[in-house]
Chain A
Amino acid sequence: MAVAGADLAVEGGSFLTLLGPSGSGKTTILMMIAGFTEPTAGRLLLDGQDITDLPPEKRAFGMVFQGYALFPHMNVAENIGFPLRVRGLSRAARDERVRATLDLVQLTGFADRLPKQLSGGQQQRVALARALVFEPALLLLDEPLSALDKKLRAELQEELRALHRRVGRTFINVTHDQEEALSLSDEVAILNHGRIIQKGAPGALYEHPRTRFVADFLGKSNFLRGVVREVGGAALGIQCEGLRLRHSAPAARPALGEEVLLSLRPEKIALAQDGDNALEGRVVSVSYLGAGHAVVLETPLGAMRVHQPAWRAAVAPVEGDLIRMAWAADAATIVEDDDAAV
Chain B
Amino acid sequence: MRRSEAGWHALLLPAFLLLTVFYVTPILQVLSISFLEPEPGFGNYERIGTNLSVQRVIVTTLRICTITTVLALLLGYALSYTITLANERTRRWWLLCVLVPLWISVLVRAFAWVTLLRRQGLINQTLQGAGVITEPLELVWNEFGIIVGMVHYMVPYAVLPMLASMREIEPRLLAAARGMGASRTLVFTHVFLPLSMPGVVAAGVLVFIFSLGFYITPAILGGGKTLMVAEWISLQILDLIRWGLGTMMATLLVVTILVTLVVFSRVVNMRKLFGGGGA
Q: Please report A residues at the B interface, Cβ cutoff 8 Å.
A: 34-36, 55-57, 60-63, 65-67, 69, 71-73, 82-83, 85-87, 130-131, 134
Decide: A86 and B173 in contact? CB cutoff 8 A. Answer: no
B88 at the interface (CB under 8 A from A): no
Decide: A65 and B182 in contact? CB cutoff 8 A. Answer: no
Decide: B179 and A73 in contact? CB cutoff 8 A. Answer: no
**A56-B190 contact given A65-B172, A69-B170, A69-B173, CB 8 Å threshold:** no
Nearest-CB residue, chain B, relative to A63: B179
Q: How far is the CA of A200 from the CA of B174 in the complex (A)?
A: 34
Decide: B176 and A65 in contact? CB cutoff 8 A. Answer: yes
Q: How far is the CA of A73 from the CA of B190 in the complex (A)?
A: 10
Decide: A34 and B182 in contact? CB cutoff 8 A. Answer: no
Nearest-CB residue, chain A, relative to B170: A69
B134 at the interface (CB under 8 A from A): no
B167 partner residues in chain A, CB cutoff 8 A: none
- Give, as a whole number of angstroms, the nearest-CB distance from B175 to chain A: 6
B178 at the interface (CB under 8 A from A): yes
Decide: A60 and B180 in contact? CB cutoff 8 A. Answer: yes
Q: How far is the CA of A60 from the CA of B181 in the complex (A)?
A: 5
Decide: B178 and A56 in contact? CB cutoff 8 A. Answer: yes
Q: How far is the CA of A72 from the CA of B170 in the complex (A)?
A: 10
Interface of B (DSSP majority class):
helix
**A86-B180 contact given A56-B175, A69-B170, A69-B173, CB 8 Å threshold:** yes
Interface of A (DSSP majority class):
loop
Q: How far is the CA of A62 from the CA of B181 in the complex (A)?
A: 9
Interface range, B side: 10 to 19
A65 partner residues in chain B, CB cutoff 8 A: 172, 175-176
A72 partner residues in chain B, CB cutoff 8 A: 173, 195
Decide: A134 and B180 in contact? CB cutoff 8 A. Answer: yes
B49 at the interface (CB under 8 A from A): no
A67 partner residues in chain B, CB cutoff 8 A: 170, 172
Interface residues of B in 139-172 (CB under 8 A from A): 170, 172
Decide: A36 and B180 in contact? CB cutoff 8 A. Answer: no
Q: How far is the CA of A67 from the CA of B177 in the complex (A)?
A: 14
B176 partner residues in chain A, CB cutoff 8 A: 63, 65, 69, 71
**A55-B191 contact given A65-B172, A71-B173, A86-B186, CB 8 Å threshold:** no
Decide: A73 and B194 in contact? CB cutoff 8 A. Answer: yes
Nearest-CB residue, chain B, relative to A82: B180
B183 at the interface (CB under 8 A from A): yes
Nearest-CB residue, chain A, relative to B194: A73
Mark contacts of B247-272 with chain A using CB atoms, 8 A cut-off: 1 yes-contact digit, 0 otherwise: 00000000000000000000000000
- Give, as a whole number of angstroms, the nearest-CB distance from A203 to chain B: 33
Decide: B172 and A130 in contact? CB cutoff 8 A. Answer: no
Q: How far is the CA of A317 from the CA of B216 in the complex (A)?
A: 88
- Give, as a whole number of angstroms, the nearest-CB distance from A112 to chain B: 18
Interface residues of B in 188-234 (CB under 8 A from A): 190-191, 194-195
B178 partner residues in chain A, CB cutoff 8 A: 36, 55-57
A36 partner residues in chain B, CB cutoff 8 A: 175, 178-179
Decide: B183 and A57 in contact? CB cutoff 8 A. Answer: yes
Nearest-CB residue, chain A, relative to B171: A69
- Give, as a whole number of angstroms, the nearest-CB distance from A147 to chain B: 13
Given A69-B172, A86-B177, A131-B180, 7 extra CB contacts under 8 A: A35-B179, A56-B175, A67-B172, A69-B170, A71-B195, A72-B173, A86-B190
Contact of B195 among A34, A60, A73, A83 (CB under 8 A): A73
- Give, as a whole number of angstroms, the nearest-CB distance from B196 to chain A: 10
B186 partner residues in chain A, CB cutoff 8 A: 86
**A56-B172 contact given A71-B191, A73-B195, A86-B186, CB 8 Å threshold:** no
Q: How far is the CA of A62 from the CA of B170 in the complex (A)?
A: 19
Decide: B181 and A57 in contact? CB cutoff 8 A. Answer: yes
A61 partner residues in chain B, CB cutoff 8 A: 179
Contact of A82 among B172, B183, B190, B194 (CB under 8 A): B190
Q: How far is the CA of A35 from the CA of B176 in the complex (A)?
A: 11
**A86-B179 contact given A69-B172, A71-B191, A73-B194, CB 8 Å threshold:** no
Q: How far is the CA of A134 from the CA of B182 in the complex (A)?
A: 12
- Give, as a whole number of angstroms, the nearest-CB distance from A120 to chain B: 16
Decide: A57 and B179 in contact? CB cutoff 8 A. Answer: yes
- Give, as a whole number of angstroms, the nearest-CB distance from B159 to chain A: 22
User: 5 shortest A-B CB distances, which residue pairs?
Assistant: A83-B180, A69-B176, A86-B182, A69-B172, A63-B179
- Give, as a whole number of angstroms, the nearest-CB distance from A77 to chain B: 15
Nearest-CB residue, chain B, relative to A31: B175
**A57-B191 contact given A69-B170, A69-B172, A82-B177, CB 8 Å threshold:** no
Nearest-CB residue, chain B, relative to A59: B179
Q: How far is the CA of A250 from the CA of B175 in the complex (A)?
A: 48
Q: How far is the CA of A134 from the CA of B177 in the complex (A)?
A: 13
Q: How far is the CA of A312 from the CA of B173 in the complex (A)?
A: 53
